[in-house]
Amino acid sequence: MSFELTKELIKQVTSLIQQKNDVAILAILEDEHYADIAELLDELNFDNSTYIIKLLDSDKTSDVLMELDEDIREKILKNLSAKEIAEELEELDTDDAADMIAELPEERQESVISHIEDEEHVKDIVELLTYDENSAGGLMAKELVKVNENWNVTQCVREMRTQAENVTRVHSIYVVDNDDKLKGRLSLKDLLVTSTKTHISEVYIPKVDAVNVNDKAEDVALIMQKYDLEAIPVVDDENHLLGRITIDDIVDVIKEEAEKDYQLAAGITEDVEADDTILEHTRARLPWLFLGLIGGVGAAAIMGGFEEMIEKHAILFFFTPLIAAMAGNVGVQSSAIIVQGLANNDLKGSISNRLLKEFSLSIVNGLILSILLFVFTWFLYDNIKTSSAISISLLAVIIMAGFIGTFIPLFLDKRGIDPAIATGPFITTSNDIFGILIYFMIAKMIIGI
C-alpha cells in the first residue's frame, strides 16, 4: 500500500512524540521510505522534526534530510552537533554530502569535516566543494565502479565486488588505463561470457559518452536527455576519470531550471519560495512591476497624444484594451515557443527563417481574427471606416507582437542572457506600448481627426 500523509497520522505521531513513546514511533516509521518520512517531517513543527531525526538511525535520516525542504533542513542542522551531522554525512554519497555541508556556515563546515572518520570520504567531499555548484563537478559523485584495462576478468570481478560495496547503484562499469584516464565502458554480458584469463583491454567498449568537469549543469542535462543515459562519467581536461553523474541529479537540475524559467516568465527576478519573507518577495517582484508601471505610463502618454481623435471617435477608446491584450498574448505565445525550443536545444534553422515562419503564422492568425472583428464592429456600429481601422490595426499589432516575441528571446540568447526573461512582463509591456501606438496611428490614417 502506498504511503498516504493524513491529518490523523500527523496527529498520532505528534502525540507519540509528546509522550516520548519512541518504540511506537519507530514501529510506524520503520518500513516507510525516506521520502515519505521527509514528507511527514515537512508537516511537523521544527522541534518534532528534530526529535524524529535524532531518533532514527543515521543510515535512514541522512536520506531523509536530503529530501527535506532546504529551509527546514537548515533549521534542523543548526540544532544538531557537529558530530551528529558528521554521522549523517558518512551515510551519504559524496555528492549529497557535499551539497549538505555546503549549506552550513564556513566555521561549522570545518568542525563537521573534522568529525568524519572516513578520510577518503572527507577527501572526496572537500574536492567536490571546490567545484561550481552549477557545473558537472558540482553535480558528480565520486562513487563509481572502474576497472583497469590491463586486468584479466578474474581480477576485474574481484575488484568490482570491493568497489560495489560503496556504490548505491551500479549503472556502468568504466575502464581506465594505468594513468586513470577513461578508455571506455565494460558490458556486464561480455564480462560474464568471457574467459577468466582474458584481459579487459580485449573486451571493453571504447565508445563512451562523457562530460568535462567544468561543463554547465544544463549542458549535462541536455546530453543525458538526448542519449537517454542513466549515468554519465565526468573527466578533466586530460580525460582522467573523476566521478559520475546519475539521472536523479539531472532531474533536480531540470526541475530547478524549470522553476527558475517559470518565475522569470512571471516577472520574478530572484529565486524565491512561498515561505520566503515579504522583503525577499518584494525584491524579486518589484523590478518587473516597476517596468509595468513605466509601460502603463508610456501607454497613457501615447493615448494622450491622440486625445482629440479619441474625443471625436470614442469607440476607439473602448477597443484599446482588446488591442493591448492581443499584443501581449501573441507576444507571450511566440516567445514561449522560442524559449522552450532554446531550452530543449531543438530550435533548428536560422533566425531569419524563424522570423519568416512567425511572420507567416501571424498573418494567418491575424487575418482570421481581424475579419471576425471587422464583421462584429461593422454589425454593431455600422461604420465601415471605424471597423476597418480597428480590424487592420489588430492585424498589424498581431504581426508586430509575433515578430517581437520571436526576435527578443533569440537576441537575448545570442547575448548570453537567459531568454526566459523575455516571456513575461518584458514582452507584455513592450507589446502593449507598440500595440497602442500602432493602433492609434492606423486609426488616424484611416479615420483622420
pLDDT tens per residue across span 375-421: 998 988 888 888 999 999 999 999 998 888 888 888 877 877 777 66
In 298-355, at which residue ranges do the beta strands (DSSP E only) sit? none
Segment 284-292 mean pLDDT = 73
Task: Give 315-345 pLDDT, tens digit per residue.
Answer: 888 888 888 888 888 888 888 788 777 776 6
The domain defined by 145-246 folds into: CBS-domain (3.10.580)
pTM over 0.85: no
Cα-Cα-Cα-Cα dihedral sign, residues 344, 348, 353, 357: negative
Among the residue ranges 75-89, 279-293, 385-399, the one predicted with the least confidence is 279-293
Cell of 226: 538526448
Task: Give 199-251 pLDDT, tens digit per residue.
Answer: 899 999 998 899 999 999 988 988 888 888 889 999 999 999 999 998 888 88
Task: Give 136-162 pLDDT, tens digit per residue.
Answer: 999 999 999 899 999 998 999 888 888
From the CB of residue 109, how many other CB atoms can be counted at a distance below 10 Å?
18
C-alpha–C-alpha distance, residues 270 and 198, integer Å: 57
List helix spans (H) across 167-319. 188-193, 217-226, 247-265, 278-304, 307-312, 315-318
Give the pLDDT of residue 274.
58
Cell of 241: 576519470
Whether the CB-CB separation of 126 and 97 falls below 8 Å is answered with no
The CATH code of the domain at 278-447 is: 1.10.357.20
Q: What is the DSSP string of 175-212?
A: EE-TT-BEEEEE-HHHHHHS-TTSBGGGT-B-----EE
Task: Give 421-438 pLDDT, tens digit per residue.
Answer: 666 677 777 877 888 899
Which sequence spans correspond to the domains of the chain?
7-135, 145-246, 278-447
Task: Give 256-273 pLDDT, tens digit per residue.
Answer: 776 666 666 555 555 656
CA 385 to each of CA 313, 318, 363, 373: distance values in angstroms, whole numbers, following the listed order: 11, 16, 21, 13
Which three-class secondary structure state does DSSP give residue 174? strand
| CATH class name, domain 7-135 | mainly alpha
Segment 98-111 mean pLDDT = 90
